[in-house]
Structure formats: C-alpha cells, structure tokens
C-alpha cells in the first residue's frame, strides 16, 4: 500500500545514479524499471518508489502523478 506522500515524492524525486541520473522517477522508461524489477530494485525508499513507478506505469495510472509535478 502507498500513501499520498509517496505519490508526491514520486512526482518530484530524481534518479540519483546510472544511465538516467537526474530524470524524475516517473519519467524513467518502463523498460528500465522492468530491468530493475528483474535484477532487484535498490534497497530502501528509492527502490520502493521505483517499484511503485513501475506499477503505476504498467496499470496506466500516470494521470495520478501529473497534477503533482
């Protein structure tokens, strides 16, 4: 389960490393998030938010995030 604050963070937090460093988590390509899903998301808050971003993208719910940007 997630909280409203999770959606706000997801809309505003940038990827801190890697190929897409600096991209907002919700702007990460779905393929990149799927790769992490297979290999393992990072530990902690970042990994949880990345998993949530993937779930939102797969379910087509990006509209939940757009007003929070």
pLDDT tens, residue by residue, 45-63: 999 999 999 999 999 988 8
pTM across the whole model: 0.91
9 has pLDDT over 90 = yes
Average pLDDT across the chain, whole number: 93
What is the distance between the alpha carbons of residues 57 and 16, in angstroms, rounded to a whole number?
A: 20
What DSSP line would sit under 8-69, residue for residue? HHHHHPBP-SSTTTTSBGGGS-HHHHHHHHHH-PPSHHHHHHHHHHHHHHHTT-GGGTGGG-
Q: 57 — phi, psi (to 5°)? A: -65, -45
Among residues of the chain, what percentage have pLDDT more than 70?
99
What does the pLDDT average to over 30-51?
Answer: 97
């Amino acid at each position: 389960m997630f909280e409203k604050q999770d959606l706000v963070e997801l809309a505003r937090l940038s990827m801190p490393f890697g190929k897409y460093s600096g991209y907002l988590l919700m702007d990460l390509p779905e393929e990149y998030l799927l790769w992490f899903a297979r290999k393992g998301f990072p530990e902690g808050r970042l990994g949880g938010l990345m998993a949530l971003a993937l779930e939102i993208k797969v379910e087509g719910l990006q509209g939940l995030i757009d007003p929070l940007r």
